[in-house]
Amino acid sequence: PEPEPGTARVPELGAAGPEGRAARTALALREAASAEAWTLLDHPLLALDVAGSPAFLEPDAVVVHPDGRWTVVEIKSFPMVDGSADAAKVGAAARQSAVYVLALEEVARRLDPAPEVRHEVLLVCPRDFSNLPAASAVDTRKQIAVTRRQLARLTRIEEIAEALPPGVTFDTEQDAAEIEEAVAAVPATYAPQCLSSCELAFHCRDRARASGSVTALGRSLRGELGGLSEVRQVLAAARGSQGDPDDPAVAALRRAAALRAEALGGVPC
């Protein structure tokens, strides 16, 4: 049955810190699953295990049905015109919602019996550029499967820690020289994209430049160069002094070097 206006339960989800909010959300979901009434969780906080570390996620809303099923609600600002919206934006919303569904499934697995987490999420958008809402169910099963595979392929933190040299610690109470030595003991693969997301990006960039790594020029270029991982190898392959001529990357480099020399009047790389 559809909920009557003003009859849905809206539990308080406030708590101290992300762990507290996630625990409060899990408790509210547990209570709502047995309440046999419509329940709306406004901006709950969910925890999803990502490679052994919890990632906290905040969907716009989660609806608990009277029969105990859970549905993710995603609210977006792009319009729904004549019942349809931009496919690319809907796809992005579906991928985002799929992560929320996976996080909800983790909560559901801890309950007995485990409630059903619906794979159809409710997408809410403005209707025809107005201030009125329009809602549509979006099937996220494909996005859920893709995200689940991606999460399964991630290297877990425990495995990374086991690969560290004995005695390495990143305790910030150490001297600067000891911290620098610890960081230097860990291999890193730098890419320009790291500058926007990692505080150690400048350190890794300096190391990549000092070693002549082609990753400093970008991941896409690194992928196109195949087994050529250093700038000196790339230049040697372009000059013809190194590399397998049958390698497509080497052949492309030599062709590019020949065109460059022709354009510059015989100036070598």
Rounded CA-CA distance 32/218 in Å is: 49
Confidence of residue 267 (pLDDT cuts 50, 70, 90): low
| Cis status, amide bond into 113, omega within 30 of 0 | yes
Give the pLDDT mean for 203-231.
81
Which stretch of 16-25, 65-74, 114-123, 242-251 has the lowest confidence by average pLDDT? 242-251
DSSP string, 152-174: HHSPPHHHHHHTSPTT----TTS
Residue 72 has what pLDDT? 97
More confident site: 109 or 193: 109
pLDDT class for 263, splitting at 50, 70, 90? confident
CB-CB contact of 72 with 116 (8 Å): no
Q: How far apart are CA 82 and CA 155, in angstroms?
A: 44
pLDDT in tens, 3-24: 777 778 899 998 999 999 999 9
* pTM confidence score: 0.67
Q: Which of 20-24, 64-68, 119-123, 194-198 has the lowest mean pLDDT?
A: 194-198
Q: For residue 180, is pLDDT > 70?
A: yes
**Both tokens of residue 181?**
């030595």
> Cβ atoms within 10 A of the Cβ of 189, count?
11
- Higher model confidence: residue 204 or residue 218? 204
Q: The tokens of 70 are what? A: 């859970």
Average pLDDT score over residue span 156-173:
81
Find how far residue 44's CA is from the centre of its chain.
19
Give tens-digit pLDDT for 111-127.
Answer: 988 999 999 999 999 99
Q: Which of 84, 82, 64, 80 is nearest to 72 (CA)?
A: 64
Q: Look over the chain and give the mean of its residue pLDDT values, rounded to a whole number.
A: 88
Residue 78 is predicted with a pLDDT of 94
Range of weakest confidence among 2-6, 44-48, 62-66, 67-71: 2-6
Mean pLDDT of 208-226: 80
For range 140-168, the mean pLDDT: 87
Q: How confident is the model at residue 1 (pLDDT cuts 50, 70, 90)?
A: low
The full set of domain ranges for the chain reads: 17-153, 173-263
What type of residue is 175? D
> What's the pLDDT score for residue 23?
94
